[in-house]
Amino acid sequence: MLTTKQHELLVFIDRHLRETGCSPSFEEMKDALDLRSKSGIHRLISALEERGFLRRHKHRARALEVLRLSGDMTPMREQQRESQRFSPNVIRGDFSGKLPGVRAANIAGAVSIPLYGKIAAGLPIEAMNEHTVEIEVPVALMGKGDHFALEVEGDSMMDAGILDGDTVVIRKGEQAENGQIIVALIDENEVTLKRLRRRGNSIALEPANERYETKIFPAERVNIQGRLIALLRKY
């Protein structure tokens, strides 16, 4: 799900690409969305990229690619072909079973997962398992495997669209790809939410806020607890 501004920006970029053949400038995007600064555009683009709607091509000026529009999982390069041979599809929902690691929620189309509390130093994930709170998450956001949720404290990931007070949904696992946002356990006693960057035999934990520094550790000091798959926000 996208916010109103994220959706407006995605539609504007897609229209500009189709009409001009090139990406809009940050100034054009700022004016189109009636924002006061370009930093807001940076945050929106990072959030769209993180959610798989947009791709930035490195080392190319103004190079944005729209992968899909909000609510449409069809890649943009296939949409014209699909529009010529459209036929409606019906997706059957079967909630008679349970996803691994979760129990069925009372609301159809949702599952309950444990909320371990705030992500903070001093508590490994495994030490948080005596939780008393569960939250309901739309089944469309989930997948196979075990999941848990954490409440974000701080603004170190705000440029990736993750704000203080947000709830992040994490898929448990010890593997993650370069560039994914993970929950990392450092030295068996400090937990943090950062973007993963592998550099040789080292792991860099990269914030998404220029006021914070990237921290680099030997690989043996960092254990991946899971990776971010969804974000929930209350207004």
Residues marked as catalytic: 156, 194
How far is the C-alpha of 116 from the C-alpha of 124, rounded, in Å? 11
Q: How many CB atoms lie within 10 A of CB 194?
A: 23
Task: Check: CB of residue 164 under 8 Å from CB of residue 155.
Answer: yes
Backbone angles phi, psi at 227, to 5 degrees: -125, 150
| C-alpha span between 62 and 119 (Å, rounded) | 35
Q: What is the DSSP letter of 121?
A: B
| Nearest partner of 141 among 163, 113, 122, 174, judged by Cα | 113
Residues near 137 by Cβ (< 8 Å), separated by ≥ 6?
110, 111, 112, 113, 147, 149, 169, 230, 232
Give the Cα separation of 183 and 161 in Å (integer). Answer: 16
